[in-house]
């Protein structure tokens, strides 16, 4: 089940919200937990057992760590190591075991050894996000940032809460648990949440899904031209952002409709003037997680320039590997790690010092798009093919293989997306500076989302909306 499905919109969500707001407060968390399990188990009921096992292990190990943290520090550290190994090992089995086997086969194949057969492993949806939540819970208890006073149900709800279980954001237990313990609902939040949910739905269905066929067509070409490659890479750049930020908008909106405030995950990342700034604006919950639970424990920037460079590269390579078990994801992480290192060494975050803001944004976007090619390509060979096209090896103009596949709706969606990315924040800033009475009138324009939402519903009913891209990670 996904947010942009008829089953969720017309059955699950109305029934859930009606019962959630009619039930007394003491029963509301039970209902939210049960609904979260149904939401997750609808995809594959057997993987619900894995979610329950992860929740139980996190709760139990958290209590052991808390009980040992003060008087038996070594034991608490051992319990933490056990928990991290358990959760990382689970993720590694489902996500990386076949990648490891393929790597070994590639190495042994040159020596004439017999290939190891791949395992029939199905990746549980959203397992990467659940794993990071469980690890942060244990580490925060070990550090004393939170206590382990929550019962099993509360920890299970933190890990499985349905707006976040597929693609985040990766909220911290210390931020979410206190909200679950009190009634924070309001009509104002519910209305704001409904609007936020509808905007996210429109971003996913009307923009991301509309440009996806164009991106898919270009990445499938065997000899993409210069125009083909940049058009396809630009289409994927739009698709990924509107798909993932659309999911975040829907998740945050769902939280507000329940009286919960989730972490924001995006702050206009395509307006960044550097890669350093980009990672402060893109997938904020992941980048802050990597910073707090990986970069800082490795030593951060406290152990000299050489160690700082190594730490940045390690964090970004592992961040790339977190996204997927493929060489392309590793190289994508290394690309961003290298750019971050260069900016750190130059002590100037801008790609080209002295450039005006528009040019700095343009150069940063080119660097980001180059990285997205690796992120999207099905193989290293496909990425090399795209890079060849981007420098004009296969010609300059639109190829005949692509020209007939360009859809008017995709082009219109690209134009609307570009306007939203680069003009939207400017308009929002101007509206915020208006006098209160005019601002209320301007904010009323947000109601334009209703006809767009209805259009998205029609499009959804007429066809289908694929899984959110980050649901695969």
List, by residue number, the catalytic residues: 323
Residues 228 and 399 sit within 8 Å (Cβ to Cβ): yes
Token couple for 97: 């075991």
Our CA angle for 467, 471, 472, nearest 5°, is: 95
**Residue 172: how many other CB atoms lie within 10 Å:** 19
420 burial level (CB within 10 Å; 0-12, 13-18, 19+): middle
- Distant-in-sequence, close-in-space partners of 306: CB < 8 Å, separation ≥ 6: none
Q: Which residue shows structure tokens 């943290």?
A: 69
Residues 137 and 62 sit within 8 Å (Cβ to Cβ): yes
The secondary structure element, H or E, covering residue 36 is helix 25-41
> Torsion over CA of 356, 357, 362 and 367, rounded to 10 degrees?
100
Token couple for 21: 């707001």
141 burial level (CB within 10 Å; 0-12, 13-18, 19+): buried
Residues 251 and 262 sit within 8 Å (Cβ to Cβ): yes
Token couple for 117: 């057969």
- 136 vs 243: CA distance, rounded Å: 26
- 46 vs 232: CA distance, rounded Å: 38
Q: CA–CA distance from 352 to each of 62, 355, 391 (Å)?
A: 47, 6, 21
- 241 vs 271: CA distance, rounded Å: 12
């Amino acid at each position: 089940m996904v947010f942009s499905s008829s089953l969720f919109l017309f059955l699950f969500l109305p029934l859930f919200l009606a019962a959630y707001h009619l039930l007394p407060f003491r029963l509301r968390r039970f209902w939210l937990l049960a609904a979260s399990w149904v939401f997750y188990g609808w995809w594959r009921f057997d993987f619900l057992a894995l979610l329950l096992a992860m929740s139980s292990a996190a709760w139990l190990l958290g209590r052991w760590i808390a009980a040992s943290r003060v008087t038996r520090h070594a034991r608490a550290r051992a319990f933490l190591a056990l928990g991290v190994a358990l959760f990382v090992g689970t993720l590694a089995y489902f996500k990386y075991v076949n990648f490891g086997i393929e790597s070994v086969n590639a190495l042994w194949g040159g020596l004439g050894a017999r290939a190891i057969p791949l395992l029939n492993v199905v990746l549980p949806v959203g397992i990467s996000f659940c794993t990071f939540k469980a690890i942060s819970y244990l580490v925060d208890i070990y550090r004393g940032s939170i206590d382990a006073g929550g019962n099993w149900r509360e920890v299970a709800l933190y890990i499985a809460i349905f707006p976040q279980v597929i693609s985040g954001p990766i909220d911290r237990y210390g931020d979410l648990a206190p909200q679950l313990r009190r009634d924070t609902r309001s009509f104002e939040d519910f209305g704001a949440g409904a609007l936020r949910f509808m905007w996210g739905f429109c971003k996913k269905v009307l923009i991301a899904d509309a440009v996806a066929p164009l991106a898919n067509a270009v990445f499938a070409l065997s000899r993409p031209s210069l125009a083909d490659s940049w058009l396809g890479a630009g289409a994927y750049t739009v698709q990924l952002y509107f798909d993932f930020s659309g999911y975040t908008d829907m998740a945050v909106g769902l939280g507000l409709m329940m009286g919960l405030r989730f972490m924001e995950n995006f702050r206009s990342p395509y307006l960044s003037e550097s890669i350093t700034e980009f990672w402060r604006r893109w997938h904020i919950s992941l980048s802050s997680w990597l910073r707090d639970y990986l970069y800082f424990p490795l030593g951060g920037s406290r152990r000299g320039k050489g160690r700082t460079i190594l730490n940045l590269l390690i964090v970004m390579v592992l961040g790339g590997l977190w996204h997927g078990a493929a060489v392309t994801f590793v190289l994508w992480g290394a690309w961003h790690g290298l750019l971050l290192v260069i900016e750190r060494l130059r002590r100037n975050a801008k790609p080209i010092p002295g450039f005006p803001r528009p040019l700095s944004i343009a150069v940063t976007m080119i660097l980001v798009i180059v990285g997205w090619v690796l992120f999207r390509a099905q193989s290293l060979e496909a990425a090399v093919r795209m890079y060849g096209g981007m420098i004009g090896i296969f010609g300059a103009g639109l190829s005949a293989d692509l020209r007939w596949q360009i859809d008017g709706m995709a082009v219109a969606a690209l134009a609307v997306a570009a306007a939203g990315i680069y003009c939207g924040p400017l308009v929002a800033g101007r509206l915020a500076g208006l006098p209160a009475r005019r601002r209320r009138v301007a904010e009323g324009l947000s109601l334009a989302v209703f006809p767009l939402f209805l259009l998205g519903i029609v499009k959804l009913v007429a066809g289908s909306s694929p899984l959110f891209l980050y649901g695969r990670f």
